[in-house]
Amino acid sequence: MTLQPAQEITLLRDGYWDRTAVVQMPDATLRVRKISKGEASAGPWGRDNLRAEANYLAALEPHLRDFFPSLLDHWDGQTTGYDMAFQQGYINVGELARRQLFNQSQADAMQAYLSERVFNQLHTVCHSKPVLADNMRDTLLKAQACLQHHGQLACLLGPIHINDDLVTSLDAQLQQLLHSPQMHSFDQQPQVRLHGDMFMENMLLPQQGCGADWPRQLILIDPISVAGVGTGHPLFDLGKYLSYATGELPAMRQERVIVTGFNKPLEGHFSWQIDWQDAAMEGFSKIDWHSSMRQAYEGHYGPINRQAYALLEAYFAAAMVVCTSNIEQQARALKMRHSLQLALA
Q: What pLDDT, in 10s, does the model give residues 109-129?
A: 999 999 999 999 999 999 888
Of 144-148, 184-188, 296-300, give the lowest mean pLDDT range: 184-188
Q: What is the pTM of this model?
A: 0.93
Q: Which of 241, 245, 242, 216 lies closest to 110, judged by CA?
A: 216
313 within 8 A of 239, measured Cβ to Cβ: yes
State the pLDDT at residue 45: 58
The Cα–Cα gap between 138 and 99 comes to: 37
Query: Band of the pLDDT at 14, cuts 50, 70, 90?
Result: confident
Terminal-to-terminal C-alpha distance of the chain: 52
The structural domains of the chain, with segments of one domain joined by +, span: 7-86, 91-344
Q: Whole-number mean pLDDT of the chain?
A: 93
- Centre a 10 Å sphere on the Cβ of residue 161 and count the other Cβ atoms it contains: 15
Query: Ranked by mean pLDDT, which of 101-105, 178-182, 256-260 comes out on top?
Result: 256-260
Determine the 3-state secondary structure of 70 from DSSP: coil
Contact by Cβ (8 Å): 43, 62:
no
What pLDDT does residue 40 have? 57
The pLDDT-based confidence of 211 (bands split at 50, 70, 90) is confident
| DSSP at 231 | E
Contact in structure between 47 and 78 (CB atoms under 8 Å)? no
H or E stretch covering 97: helix 93-98
**pLDDT of 210:** 76
Nearest CA among 302, 53, 314, 295 for reference residue 189: 302
Position 329 confidence tier, pLDDT thresholds 50, 70, 90: very high
Reply yes or no on whether the pLDDT at 41 is more than 60.
no
Specify the pairing of strand 269-274 against strand 257-260.
Answer: antiparallel
CB 306 within 8 A of CB 288: no
CA–CA separation, 121 vs 113, rounded Å?
11
Quick check: 215 and 106 in contact, CB under 8 A? yes
* Residues 294-324 as b or e (16 or more Cβ within 10 Å = b): bebbeeebeebeebbbbbbbbbbbbbbbbeb
**What is the CATH T-level fold of the domain 7-86, as seen in this structure?**
Phosphorylase Kinase; domain 1 (3.30.200)
Chain segment 245-278, per-residue pLDDT in tens? 999 999 999 999 999 999 999 999 999 999 999 9
- What percentage of the chain carries pLDDT values higher than 90? 79
- CATH code of the region 91-344: 3.90.1200
